[in-house]
Amino acid sequence: MTATASWFHVSVKTMSRSAGRSVVAAAAYRLGTELHEQEVDQTHDYRRRSGVAVTFTCAPVDAPDWAHDPERLWNAANAAEKRKNSTLAREIELALPAAVSAEAREDIARAVAQELVTRYGVVVSGAIHTPSREGDQRNHHAHLLFTTRRMEADGLGAKTRVLDAKASGPAEVI
């Protein structure tokens, strides 16, 4: 689903195992880092990727320390899902206004990420990307990759179903 305003654009997508997606690789790419995927014993290295200005993690207050480690988090999220068609994560791609400072853009991205944590009890890996050299120089945006399961004090818990349901999902996105 997509919503737009004068400077605002947001899209919400799911990352599914049935589509052949790797949530660990997706996190590495968005964060511009190197993460090792335990299930397939493969390293995804995007440290040379340009355009990643800021990365951060937002998690519930009682989340275990490892929830702030992207490699451990996304391997755990992958392992928690057993079905071949499991939704592994959700992603919000959020346009950020070019007319404000980099600090203000980060504040906006972190506020949206924290709202996801508060509302759904999930963990969010966030990355703010700068415009590409060849593209529109106003294209500052954030990728907010978040778990499909609540993060409890002892690890990943129950699935968050409100965004899955046809009755509640679209209204939640809006």
- Distance between CA atoms of 72 and 168, rounded to whole angstroms? 31
pLDDT in tens, 131-146: 877 766 778 899 999 9
Residues whose CB is less than 8 angstroms from the CB of residue 98 and which lie 6 or more positions away in sequence, other chains included:
7, 137, 138, 139, 140
Question: Angle at Cα 168 formed by Cα 163 and Cα 169, nearest 5°?
Answer: 35
pLDDT in tens, 1-23: 555 445 567 888 989 888 888 99
Read off the pTM. 0.90
Residue type, 170: P
Beta bridge partners of residue 2, listed in sequence order: 11
Q: Given the structure tokens 């592994």, which residue do they identify?
A: 88
At residue 105, the pLDDT reads 94
pLDDT in tens, 63-120: 999 999 999 999 999 999 989 888 999 999 999 998 899 999 999 999 999 999 999 9
- Distance between CA atoms of 105 and 95, rounded to whole angstroms? 9
Instruction: Choose among 77, 158, 79, 168: nearest CA to 69.
Output: 77
Torsion of Cα atoms, 16 then 17 then 20 then 24, to 10°: 90
At residue 2, the pLDDT reads 52
Tell me the two tokens of residue 56. Answer: 């951060």
